[in-house]
C-alpha cells in the first residue's frame, strides 16, 4: 500500500492511465490546431475533438452539437449563468439557486446582482436536500434562471433535479445544473432531468485539470446564451480560443470510461463507503453523518466527530489525504457554509471531515483509513479529557 492514502476525490482525481494514453499523441504527434482546415494535422485534431464531443454527449444523453468545451466547471458555471442572464435579460432579472452551491455558481450570481439581477437562495433541509416546493415558492414572474447542483461537493447529496427541471419547464424558466460531482458518478440524463444547461469538469472524473464542458440545450427548446469570451468564434461563437485538443481528448475518454464502468464502480465504491462508515461508527461514539444517506453519491462520506477539531484530526493522520470540505474554502478556516446551510452548529461543522473514495482505492486502504481515523480520534479525545482534568484539579 502506497502512502498517503488518497481519499479526497471530490477535490480532484488522478488521471486514469487509459485517459493519459489517449491524450499523449495529441501533444507531440497530432499537434495541429483543430480549426486549421488546410492540412491533415488540423483535420486529425478536429476529428479527435469531434470524437470527444460524442463521448461527452453520450454520458449525459445529449447530442454532440450541444456540447461546448471550456476550461472546467468554474467556466461552465459562469458561462451558463452569466451567459443565460445576458442573453435573456428581457425575460426577467430574477435567479433562484441554493445556499449549498459551489462558489462558481454563487459568485457568478453575486456578480449579476451588481448588474441589477436579484438572487434568491431556496432553503435546504437538515439533510441537505431542497424540497422542489421550496424552489417553486421562490419563483416569481421575473425568474429567468434556476441553478441547482446535481450533487454537492462536500456532502455528496443528490438534489431532485428531474422534479425541479419539470417545474422550470412548465414555466418556461431556464434550468442550469452544476454536475461536476454527479456526471460520471451517478446517472445523468439531460432529457429525463429537463435540464437546459449542465456543467462538467474533467478532473473530477479521472481526466486532466483545466478542461470541462457546458451542455447547452439545442432543441425543445433551443437555448440561447451569450459568450463570456469573444474572439475567433470557436465552439459556435460561445467560447473563442484555440481548443485544448489533448485536454478535450482526455475529457472524452474519461466520460466514456465512466459511462462504461459506472454500474460496477458505483457498487464497489458504495460498498466500501458503507464499510468505512460502519467501521468508524462501530468503534467511535458521538459521530454523525452530514447529509442524506439515501440521496447521496456512492463514494461520499462526510462525518462530524463530536468534540474533535477536524483540522487536528487531519494533522494527526497525515498519511491519509482527506479534507475538511471544499478545497476552495480551506484557506479561510471558516466553518463550511454548506454545513451551516443545513443548520449544523459551528462546533460540529469544525469537527467535520469529508471522505471521497475513488476508482483507485482498495479495500486494504479503506481498512487502513478506518484504523487511522479511530486511533487518531481516540488520541485527540484522550488529550482533551486530560486537559479538562488538569484545569479542574
Ligand X SMILES: *Cc1c(COP(=O)(O)O)cnc(C)c1O
Stretch that binds ligand X, among 15-23, 70-78, 306-314, 317-325 (CB under 6 A): 70-78
Total chain residues near ligand X (CB under 6 A): 15
Q: Is 299 in the site for ligand X (CB under 6 A)?
A: no
- List the strands of the sheet with 352-356, edge to edge: 287-289, 300-305, 352-356
Look at residues 245, 327, 252, 238 and name the one whose alpha carbon lies nearest to residue 64.
Answer: 252
Q: At its nearest, how many Å lie between ligand X and the CB of residue 75?
A: 7
Q: Is 153 in the site for ligand X (CB under 6 A)?
A: yes
- Residue 353 contacts residue 38 (beta carbons within 8 Å): no
Q: At its nearest, how many Å lie between ligand X and the CB of residue 181?
A: 5
Stretch that binds ligand X, among 73-81, 185-193, 263-271, 304-312 (CB under 6 A): 73-81
Q: Is 181 in the site for ligand X (CB under 6 A)?
A: yes
- Contact with ligand X (CB under 6 A): which of 148, 149, 173, 276? 149
When CB distances to ligand X are compared, the closest residue is 72
Q: For ligand X, give the closer residue by CB, 73 or 98.
A: 73
Q: How far apart are CA 375 and CA 338, in angstroms?
A: 28
The residues annotated with a catalytic role in the active site are: 328
Look at residues 168, 211, 160 and name the one whose alpha carbon lies nearest to residue 186.
Answer: 160
Parallel, antiparallel or unpaired: strands 94-97 and 143-147: parallel
Q: Is 297 in the site for ligand X (CB under 6 A)?
A: no
Q: Is 320 in the site for ligand X (CB under 6 A)?
A: no
Q: Is 57 in the site for ligand X (CB under 6 A)?
A: no
Q: Which three cell numbers stand for residue 41?
A: 494535422
Stretch that binds ligand X, among 71-79, 116-124, 228-236, 356-364 (CB under 6 A): 71-79
- Which ranges in the chain belong to alpha helices (H)? 17-23, 25-28, 40-59, 73-87, 103-113, 132-138, 161-170, 190-193, 245-281, 310-316, 337-341, 346-350, 363-392
Q: Is 104 in the site for ligand X (CB under 6 A)?
A: yes
Q: For ligand X, give the closer residue by CB, 275 or 295.
A: 295
Provide the CA 322 distance to its chain's centre, in angstroms: 16
Q: Is 212 in the site for ligand X (CB under 6 A)?
A: yes
Relative orientation angle of helices 363-392 and 245-281, to the nearest 10 degrees: 60
Residues that bind ligand X (CB under 6 A): 72-74, 77, 102, 104, 149, 153, 178, 180-181, 201, 203-204, 212
Amino acid at each position: 500500500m502506497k502512502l498517503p492514502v488518497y481519499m479526497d476525490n471530490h477535490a480532484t482525481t488522478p488521471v486514469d492511465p487509459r485517459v493519459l494514453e489517449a491524450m499523449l499523441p495529441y501533444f507531440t504527434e497530432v499537434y495541429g490546431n483543430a480549426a486549421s482546415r488546410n492540412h491533415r494535422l488540423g483535420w486529425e485534431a478536429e476529428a479527435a475533438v469531434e470524437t470527444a464531443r460524442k463521448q461527452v454527449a453520450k454520458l449525459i444523453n445529449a447530442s454532440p452539437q450541444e456540447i461546448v468545451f471550456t476550461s472546467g466547471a468554474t467556466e461552465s458555471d459562469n458561462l451558463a449563468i452569466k451567459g443565460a442572464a445576458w442573453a435573456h435579460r428581457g425575460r426577467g432579472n430574477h435567479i433562484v439557486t441554493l445556499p449549498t452551491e459551489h462558489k462558481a455558481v454563487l459568485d457568478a450570481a453575486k456578480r449579476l446582482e451588481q448588474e441589477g439581477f436579484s438572487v434568491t437562495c431556496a432553503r435546504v433541509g437538515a439533510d441537505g436536500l431542497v424540497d422542489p416546493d421550496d424552489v417553486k415558492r421562490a419563483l416569481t414572474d421575473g425568474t429567468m434562471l434556476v441553478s441547482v447542483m446535481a450533487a454537492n461537493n462536500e456532502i455528496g447529496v443528490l438534489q431532485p433535479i428531474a422534479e425541479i427541471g419539470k417545474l422550470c419547464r412548465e414555466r418556461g424558466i431556464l434550468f442550469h445544473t452544476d454536475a461536476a460531482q454527479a456526471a460520471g458518478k451517478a446517472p445523468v440524463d439531460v432529457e429525463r432531468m429537463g435540464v437546459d444547461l449542465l456543467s462538467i469538469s474533467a478532473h473530477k472524473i479521472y481526466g486532466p485539470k483545466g478542461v470541462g464542458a457546458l451542455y447547452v440545450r439545442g432543441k425543445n427548446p433551443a437555448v440561447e446564451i451569450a459568450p463570456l469570451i469573444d474572439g475567433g468564434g470557436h465552439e459556435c461563437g460561445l467560447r473563442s480560443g484555440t481548443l485544448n485538443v489533448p485536454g478535450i481528448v482526455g475529457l472524452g475518454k474519461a466520460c466514456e470510461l465512466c459511462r462504461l464502468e459506472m454500474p460496477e464502480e458505483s457498487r464497489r465504491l458504495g460498498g466500501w463507503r458503507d464499510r468505512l462508515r460502519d467501521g468508524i461508527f462501530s468503534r467511535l461514539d458521538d459521530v454523525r453523518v452530514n447529509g442524506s444517506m439515501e440521496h447521496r453519491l456512492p463514494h461520499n462520506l462526510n462525518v462530524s466527530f463530536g468534540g474533535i477539531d477536524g483540522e487536528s484530526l487531519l494533522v494527526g493522520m497525515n498519511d491519509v489525504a482527506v479534507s475538511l470540505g471544499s478545497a476552495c474554502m480551506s484557506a479561510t478556516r471558516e466553518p463550511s457554509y454548506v454545513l451551516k446551510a443545513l443548520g449544523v452548529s459551528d462546533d460540529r461543522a469544525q469537527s467535520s471531515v469529508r471522505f471521497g473514495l475513488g476508482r483507485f482505492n482498495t479495500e486494504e486502504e479503506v481498512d487502513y483509513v478506518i484504523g487511522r481515523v479511530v486511533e487518531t480520534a481516540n488520541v485527540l479525545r484522550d488529550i482533551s479529557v486530560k486537559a479538562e482534568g488538569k484545569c479542574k484539579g
